[in-house]
Structure 1
């Protein structure tokens, strides 16, 4: 297929574009910043630009992975989020509908599911988050606009029969967390694979799976995250003694972490459940917390990317 990939210069795009090409697809990359896999410089908020790319490239399917993200809140006004994340998505959906497409994959975020109460960990247990979690109350303009864009995807399916698969991706960025200071770096990323992180490679694979399955799925929203070893009945103890729960599942975890100079968490406030994607789409992230521990046991490279110096191409520009 001739696929339009937005956000082709971003962290996900640089992994997803070659993965799509590996399957024989012709990829047209659209981004506001130049990159190895970006063939067209422009914004999805520019309807004329979107229409021109569709017409010139004979686009047959869309993976909409571009947009403004949470760190961009410090750099852009709220209107920019509305223009890019909402109007940009509408422009792409409209072009896909007019072209008679049968599949549209939208990269969303688990962030829109995190209210301020969940963010502040007000509950006396770890909040179990799946696609039925609600009511949704996004805590910032990023989440608000991503949720609105999801609504547009649903509406285009209802009104026009455009098959739309929404992937609420958990964390997969390579840079340091901009809010949490301890633990930091690789220690934090390793721990987050227990409950709210995936690798960029797995995120790319999820998009490939969604693209293939879209006509069969029709419309659905999926959380994409590393499979958690925890169960719902662990929720109370995860909040009060997470290290003990982890040790029960993986007895040598404390020793492996100590040898690395890492720490286990005292408390975990939320857990993402990505099992619906596995049940319905047949997709499961390959890299999980067990892969981290296996690497520590063997003295091998860690199975995830950590780059404190990473700068988003959009921000760099």
Structure 2
């Protein structure tokens, strides 16, 4: 199948394109900046670009991973988010329907599930988040536009019979998070695999599986499998390190040996079990894999690159 992959020069695209090829697909990459997996330089927000790619390349299905992201809020006006994240998605959906496609995979984000109250960690227990969580109250223009794009996918699936998978991926970016103060870098990424992270490799694999198996319209949370249960939410808020230590008895010593810290409190947990039930997809890297690497001295099973620069940043910087 000939797949149009938007966002092909980005962090996900560089891993997803070769996985699609390994699965036997031809890949046509579209991005606003050049890249190894990018065949066409342009934006899905421009309908003429989309129409030309479909006409010239014989596109048979779409994986829409291109977007402006949360860090881009500091560099782009709100209208740019609407143009790229909403209009770009609409252009691709319209082109896919016109071409008679039967499948469309949209890369969304768990960020749109986080209201300001959740972000501020209000309440006395961690919040358990899955596809039934609502009402959704995105806290910024990024989340608002991604939620709107999800709505367009739902509409076009219902009205045109387009099989559409919306993948709400949790964090897989390689750079540092400058909004968190007490745990940094690799330490933060390791602990986030407990409740709100996955590797970019697993994110890419989820898209390949969804492309093959999606029927109708479905939304999936895609994240590393959490070892926690709903019954843990109160303790996770007040004594996360204690819960982790009970679940993984050698975790405190392994972390201490590396000079790392376990989180004192966890305020949210992403439940990715629906993807496992309906797609047969389960992320291969979890917190246990981190501990295994710490025990053996093997490389950590996730990427950390504080110097990574996204394509949108490169474009904004000229």
Q: Which residue of 2 aligns with 1:291?
A: 289
Q: Which residue of 2 aligns with 1:158?
A: 158
| Regions of 4+ moved over 2 Å | none
Q: Which residue of 2 aligns with 1:308?
A: 306
Moved more, 105-114 or 17-26: 17-26
Q: Which residue of 1 aligns with 2:237?
A: 239
Question: How far apart are 1:218 and its partner, in Å?
Answer: 1.3
Question: How far apart are 1:123 and its partner, in Å?
Answer: 1.4
Mapped to 2, the partners of 1:94 and 1:178 lie a distance apart of 38
Mapped to 1, the partners of 2:89 and 2:311 lie a distance apart of 20
Give the TM-score normalised by the residue count of structure 1: 0.99
Mapped to 2, the partners of 1:301 and 1:65 lie a distance apart of 28
Alignment of 1:18-167 (within 5 A): 18-167=18-167
Q: Is 2:151 aligned against 1:175?
A: no
Q: Which residue of 1 aligns with 2:247?
A: 249
Query: What is the DSSP-based 3-state SS (H/G/I as helix, E as strand, rest coil) of the residue aligned with 1:12?
Result: helix
Question: How far apart are 1:313 and its partner, in Å?
Answer: 2.2
Mapped to 1, the partners of 2:23 and 2:238 lie a distance apart of 46
Mapped to 1, the partners of 2:145 and 2:179 lie a distance apart of 21
Mapped to 1, the partners of 2:182 and 2:15 lie a distance apart of 29
Could you tell me whether the CA contact under 8 Å between 2:130 and 2:271 is conserved in 1?
yes
Mapped to 2, the partners of 1:154 and 1:126 lie a distance apart of 29
RMSD: 0.5
Cα distance per residue 1:206-234 (max 9 Å; x no partner): 000000012xx211000000000000000
Question: How far apart are 1:182 and its partner, in Å?
Answer: 1.8
Query: What is the DSSP-based 3-state SS (H/G/I as helix, E as strand, rest coil) of the residue aligned with 2:11?
Result: coil
Could you tell me whether the CA contact under 8 Å between 2:72 and 2:312 is conserved in 1?
no
Structure 2: state its 5+ residue gaps.
none
Question: How far apart are 1:316 and its partner, in Å?
Answer: 1.6
Structure 1: state its 5+ residue gaps.
none
Aligned residues: 315
Q: Which residue of 2 aligns with 1:7?
A: 7
The counterpart of 1:274, out of the listed 258, 272, 275, is 272
Mapped to 1, the partners of 2:88 and 2:178 lie a distance apart of 26
Cα distance per residue 1:45-81 (max 9 Å; x no partner): 0001100000000000000000100000000000000
Q: Which residue of 1 aligns with 2:259?
A: 261
Question: How far apart are 1:314 and its partner, in Å?
Answer: 2.4
Cα distance per residue 1:175-203 (max 9 Å; x no partner): 00021122000000000000000000000
Mapped to 2, the partners of 1:282 and 1:117 lie a distance apart of 33
Cα distance per residue 1:129-181 (max 9 Å; x no partner): 00011100000000000000000000001111011100000000000002112
Query: What is the DSSP-based 3-state SS (H/G/I as helix, E as strand, rest coil) of the residue aligned with 1:29?
Result: strand
Cα distance per residue 1:96-132 (max 9 Å; x no partner): 0000000000000000000000000001100000001
Alignment of 1:214-225 (within 5 A): 214=214, 217-225=215-223
